[in-house]
Amino acid sequence: MGDDNGLVTQALAGKRYALARLISQVEDDGETARAALAALYPHTGRAHVVGITGSPGSGKSTLVNELAKVLRGQGVTVGVVAVDPSSPFTGGALLGDRVRMRDLSGDPGVFIRSMASRGSLGGLARATGDVIKVLDAVGFQVILVETVGAGQSEVEIARTAHTTIVVEAPGMGDEVQALKAGLLEIADVLVVNKADRPGAANTARALELVINQNAAHDEGRWRPPILQTVALNGQGVPEVWEAVVAHRQYLRESGLWESQERARVETELFNVLREELLNRTLARVGRERVQEWVTRIADRQVDVYTAAASIIGG
Amino acid sequence: MGDDNGLVTQALAGKRYALARLISQVEDDGETARAALAALYPHTGRAHVVGITGSPGSGKSTLVNELAKVLRGQGVTVGVVAVDPSSPFTGGALLGDRVRMRDLSGDPGVFIRSMASRGSLGGLARATGDVIKVLDAVGFQVILVETVGAGQSEVEIARTAHTTIVVEAPGMGDEVQALKAGLLEIADVLVVNKADRPGAANTARALELVINQNAAHDEGRWRPPILQTVALNGQGVPEVWEAVVAHRQYLRESGLWESQERARVETELFNVLREELLNRTLARVGRERVQEWVTRIADRQVDVYTAAASIIGG
């Protein structure tokens, strides 16, 4: 059931080739993928999902690489999902499949997947969420989700991850302040990477100032620690992992782990419902009649809300 | 009809206070807003909507300000919508209502609106689209839509705008290359602002290289011009407007104006259908039973796709 081709069974048994094919299926969506996800779902909910985000050039990829090495050193299995939204219209990945993680290749305790953008934020978020579920189900204990770029996609990923690491680098100027302000709100752990460069202490102090302002309002809440790293040589990376573990413990003890899980499930259920309901309605009404409505709206004969009400009612 | 309080009539008659209140209503959504939008809709479709986006620190706001002045000099009325996604979780606007556009204040031919993020990209895109419709309906000839930051929201705005201006500044480093790659694809006009700084010619050349690569594949398609400005003193800004006008002419003559309008209408119709269908389904099923489903999914008793199918079927 839900496993016509045996992929799910094979993937759960640890076959890498089956896992890779299963992930491709899930990325593409469709009936087979949904059946597979249904079969996998009871096995999910065990992984710690960690989002890593930050400004371009902050050294996120290197940090992810080093974090994976630290985890492997502790015998922890790691899935890495690299989300690349650089080309939203074409769906082409700018960096292609990552060759950077050579140190980790050949290790069965690591699985790395690059994702191209699916053209819409909704599509990418759906696909990323489903790929995380597959890696979770087959037993990867920690899943590192890295996003390139900055913006709304980071916020979506923060909602998927249990813990979000925001990476900054010194000397990126106040020009990214607006950006930082948005990112700081989603940070559970703050990392000033490239800490061997001038200005690292200043950057850390600036971040601390913002954190202190926020913390004043929220007694007893998690206060994001600010850590300095030189990811290129691994310096400070074990401490980043310790902070992530401390955050996980905080989530567990405060009951936030469960309540955030419920919020994630609700968001996902609503997203699936939206797409399902739309697809069924479009199928019922038929492509031609939908295009007639589009023409009438484009000609200003009817507004979009009235049209929608008619389509649903009719 | 759709104008219980006379706001629509007053706004269409040019009353600014009514316009401001109407926009607030539309931002907040709800029954009244939808009725107002239905009443306004036949008056829309005349404005040229121009998106302005680019990296933080590129000087977008100043360019918008100067573009508005150029347009006012030609007797063209201008609406400005500043979208601020800096604080997606709290909905608070980082920059608050803009005080920067003092030169334009008191001019009835200009209307400026700052928008805070609505927490979700969908919500912000919906609100921005509706505010643009109001400004269009009451007769503003050009609507400049400025976005702070970079990412998926820019792509959504590019889909709303007829013409998209992407602003860069020299010396922002290759660190933003990944970002640029995504933005370049949505650019109809490219501006290197702060062109009095060192490196402006280099930045323009780098952009030209990318454009040439793209252009090789697409004979007869619009080729984004690359213009240099010093927005702070208005230098080069009239030329930017000329490029925008040329792009409009291209859209009109190629038939793209109409086909893109249809694509926009279809996207909007589908978005409204998604939300309407979800709201109706949730209302039918009831909050309690929905929460029961969330619990069952969170407990891994059922997966989200199976749950959605049951909810819709039941």
How is chain B classified by DSSP, letter by letter?
---TTSHHHHHHTT-HHHHHHHHHHHHH-SHHHHHHHHHHGGG-S-SEEEEEEESTTS-HHHHHHHHHHHHHHTT--EEEEEEE-S-TTT---SS-S--TTGGGTT-TTEEEEEEE--SSHHHHHHHHHHHHHHHHHTT-SEEEEEE-S-SHHHHHHHHH-SEEEEEE-TT--GGGHHHHHHHHTT-SEEEE--TTSTTHHHHHHHHHHHHHHHHHH-TTS----EEE-BGGGTBTHHHHHHHHHHHHHHHHHHTHHHHHHHHHHHHHHHHHHHHHHHHHHHHHH-HHHHHHHHHHHHTTSS-HHHHHHHHHH-
Q: Which of A191, A183, A231, A194 is nearest to A64 (CA)?
A: A231
C-alpha B245/C-alpha A3 separation (Å) is 56
In this prediction, residue B103 carries a pLDDT of 63
A26, A128 Cβ separation under 8 angstroms: no
C-alpha A127/C-alpha A121 separation (Å) is 10
Q: Chain B residue closest to A124 (CA)?
A: B152
The contacts of residue A233 (CB under 8 Å, 6+ apart) are none
The Cα of B276 is separated from the nearest Cα of chain A by a number of Å equal to: 8
Single pTM value for the model? 0.81
Give the nearest partner residue to B149 out of A86, A182, A265, using CB atoms.
A182
Q: Chain B residue closest to A87 (CA)?
A: B182
Chain B residue numbers with beta carbons less than 8 Å from the beta carbon of A306 are 38
In this prediction, residue B87 carries a pLDDT of 32
B236, B227 Cβ separation under 8 angstroms: yes
Q: Report CB contact under 8 Å: A312, B277.
A: yes
In this prediction, residue A96 carries a pLDDT of 33
The rounded average pLDDT for each run of 10 residues, N- to C-terminus, in chain A (314 residues) is 74 92 88 90 95 80 91 96 52 37 75 70 75 96 81 66 90 51 79 92 84 67 94 95 97 95 92 93 94 96 94 84
The contacts of residue B302 (CB under 8 Å, 6+ apart) are A41, B293, B296, B310
Q: Chain B residue closest to A121 (CA)?
A: B152
Give the nearest partner residue to B182 out of A95, A149, A274, using CB atoms.
A149
The Cα of A109 is separated from the nearest Cα of chain B by a number of Å equal to: 25
Give the nearest partner residue to A151 out of B153, B172, B309, using CB atoms.
B153
In this prediction, residue A163 carries a pLDDT of 96
Residue B178 CB neighbour total at 10 angstroms: 19
Q: Chain B residue closest to A307 (CA)?
A: B269
The number of angstroms, rounded, from the C-alpha of B202 to the middle of its chain's C-alpha atoms is 29
The contacts of residue B248 (CB under 8 Å, 6+ apart) are B48, B162, B163, B257
C-alpha B282/C-alpha B214 separation (Å) is 46
What's chain A's Rg over C-alpha atoms? 22
Which neighbouring-strand residues pair with B79?
Answer: B111, B143
Left (φ > 0), alpha (ψ -120 to 50) or beta: where does A139 sit?
left
For an interface test with A, which of B132, B274, B280, B311 has the most A Cβ atoms less than 10 Å from its Cβ? B274
C-alpha A282/C-alpha A288 separation (Å) is 10
Pairing of strands B163-168, B142-147: unpaired
Q: Which of A232, A58, A225 is nearest to A154 (CA)?
A: A58
Helix (H) or strand (E) holding A83: strand A78-84
DSSP state, residue A78: E
In this prediction, residue A178 carries a pLDDT of 41
The Cα-based distances of B14 to A131, A195, A314, B10, B134 in angstroms read 53, 57, 37, 7, 12
Instruction: Record the tokens describing residue A122, joined without a space.
Output: 């909704």
Residue A208 CB neighbour total at 10 angstroms: 15
Q: Report CB contact under 8 Å: A273, B45.
A: no
Q: Chain B residue closest to A279 (CA)?
A: B274
CA triplet B232, B235, B241: central angle to 5 degrees?
105
Which neighbouring-strand residues pair with A51?
Answer: A145, A164
Q: Report CB contact under 8 Å: A148, B305.
A: no
CATH of domain B45-254: 3.40.50.300
Residue B143 CB neighbour total at 10 angstroms: 25
- The pLDDT tens digits for A103-158 are 677 788 999 888 765 555 556 777 888 999 999 999 999 999 987 655 555 667 66
Q: Report CB contact under 8 Å: A304, B275.
A: no
Residue A123 CB neighbour total at 10 angstroms: 16
What dihedral angle (degrees, nearest 10) is formed by the CA atoms of B180, A93, B122, A310?
120
In this prediction, residue B96 carries a pLDDT of 33
C-alpha B117/C-alpha B121 separation (Å) is 8
The contacts of residue B191 (CB under 8 Å, 6+ apart) are B54, B63, B165, B166, B167, B168, B226, B227, B228, B229, B236, B240
- Burial label for A304, CB within 10 Å (0-12, 13-18, 19+), is buried
Instruction: Record the tokens describing residue A13, joined without a space.
Output: 């048994």
The total number of residues written for chain B in this structure: 314
Give the nearest partner residue to B155 out of A44, A88, A297, using CB atoms.
A88
Q: Report CB contact under 8 Å: A304, B85.
A: no
Q: Report CB contact under 8 Å: A312, B87.
A: no
Instruction: Record the tokens describing residue B314, joined without a space.
Output: 């039941």
pLDDT digit string (tens) for chain B, length 314 residues:
445 568 999 999 999 999 999 999 998 878 888 899 999 999 999 999 999 987 767 888 889 999 999 999 999 999 998 875 543 322 333 333 344 455 677 888 999 888 765 555 556 777 888 999 999 999 999 999 987 655 555 667 667 899 999 888 887 654 345 455 566 778 899 999 999 998 888 888 888 887 777 665 566 789 999 999 999 899 999 999 999 999 999 999 999 999 999 999 998 899 899 999 999 999 999 989 999 999 999 999 999 999 999 999 85
Q: Which fold has domain A46-254?
A: Rossmann fold (3.40.50)
Q: Chain A residue closest to B40 (CA)?
A: A303
Q: Report CB contact under 8 Å: A149, B149.
A: no
Q: Report CB contact under 8 Å: B88, A155.
A: yes
Q: What values do phi and psi take at A251, rounded to 5? A: -60, -45
Q: Which of B257, B261, B260 is nearest to B247 (CA)?
A: B257
Q: What ipTM goes with this model?
A: 0.84
Q: Report CB contact under 8 Å: A149, B151.
A: yes
Helix (H) or strand (E) holding A240: helix A237-254
C-alpha A131/C-alpha A157 separation (Å) is 13
